[in-house]
Amino acid sequence: MNLMDGIAKNNFVVFGRAGMDMYADPPGTKAEDATSFKSDLGGSSANICAGLCKLGSQSALVTSISDDAVGRFCTNKLQHYGVDTQYLRKLGGEYRVSLAVYESCIEDFQLVIYRNGAVDFQVTDADVDRVDYSAYGALITAGTVFAAEPSRGSTFRAFENARAAGIPVIFDVDYRPYSWPSPEVAAEVLSRAGDESDLIVGNDEEFGFMAGGIDKGMDKARELAASGKMVIYKMGHEGAVTFFNGEEIRTGIYPVTAVKPNGAGDSFMAGLLAGIAEGRSLREAVLRGSACASIVVSQPGCAPSMPTTAELDAFLNTHPGATDH
C-alpha cells in the first residue's frame, strides 16, 4: 500500500508516550505562582491520537502506562477522546507515566517534564507483535520512543511488522534532548528511523541535527525526498516546505496570539493526515495542519485544545489565508 492510499484509510496505529499535563490556571499565571492547575492528557503520541479522533479519524495507541492512578487517568482521557486503548499495557513497580507542568504564557515560558523511570520506554517486542497491523492504514511514531531501550528496538520491530503488512510508516522526528543519552546516539538512531519511514515531519533544527548542522537541514530533507519519501520541513513562523514526487510546496502559517508554544507539532500532524484522508490536495492538507497548530498554541492545554473538524473549518473561515514567506 502506498503512502497516500494508506492515509486514506483514515485509521492509524500510533506508537509513543501518553502523559499527564498540568498547566497553571488561569491563563497567564506563572507555574511558580499558581494556586491551581488544570490537568489533561499529554505526551506527543497521545496528543496526535486525540487530535486525529477529534478530526474524525480513528487511532489506536501502543504504549506502556503505570499501573496507578495517573496511568488510569491517561487511559480514561484517551478513551474520552475516542482513542482505542486495547494496546496499552499496565506496568507495576517504579515505572511512571510522564508528567509535564507548564503555563499558558509565552514570556519566559516554562515547561518542566518529569521523565525519571519513564514507563513508555518499557514497550517490548511482545507488545508490538500483539498489534494487528493489517487493520490500519498507516503506522505513526514520534521520535521519543527511540531514545531508550527496550522501546527503541521494539519500535524498529514495529516498522518491520508494518512493512510486512504493507502499510506505510509516518515519523515525527520530535527530538527532545533531555530524553537521549547523547546527541551522537540521537543523530544516528533518528537518521535510521527517517531512512525507514515513508513520511517524515520535522523542523529545521531537527533535520539539521540529523544532517550534522542546521545549515545542512534543507539538503537532508531534499535527499530523503529524492529517495521517494514525503518530507515536511517546518520552519516555525516562516511556514513549511513539503517535498513529494519531485514537487516543493511552500506554505505559510496562520498568525494568532499564542499563549504557549507546545502541542503545535502534534496538532499539525493530526490536521495534515486528516486532511489527506479527506481527499484534499497536499497543499490544503498542510495548511489545515498549520491551522490546527495555530489553534492549539492560542489556547491552554494540548489535547483539549486540539480542534474538531467544525472548529477547524470555523477558524479557516475567519482566517482566509496563511501568510507566505
Residues 6+ apart with CB under 8 A from 53: 59, 81, 82, 83
Please say if the pLDDT value at position 325 is more than 50. Answer: no
pTM reported for the whole predicted model: 0.97
Question: CATH classification of 3-318 is 3.40.1190.20, yes or no?
Answer: yes
Q: Report the C-alpha gap between 321 and 218 in whole angstroms.
A: 25
Which pLDDT score is estimated for 132?
98
pLDDT per residue as tens digits for the range 287-305:
999 999 999 999 999 999 9
pLDDT per residue as tens digits for the range 186-207:
999 999 999 999 999 999 889 9
Q: State the pLDDT confidence band at 210, using cuts at 50, 70 and 90.
A: confident
As beta bridge partners, residue 112 has 101
Mean pLDDT of 105-128: 95
Q: Report the C-alpha gap between 83 and 14 in whole angstroms.
A: 10
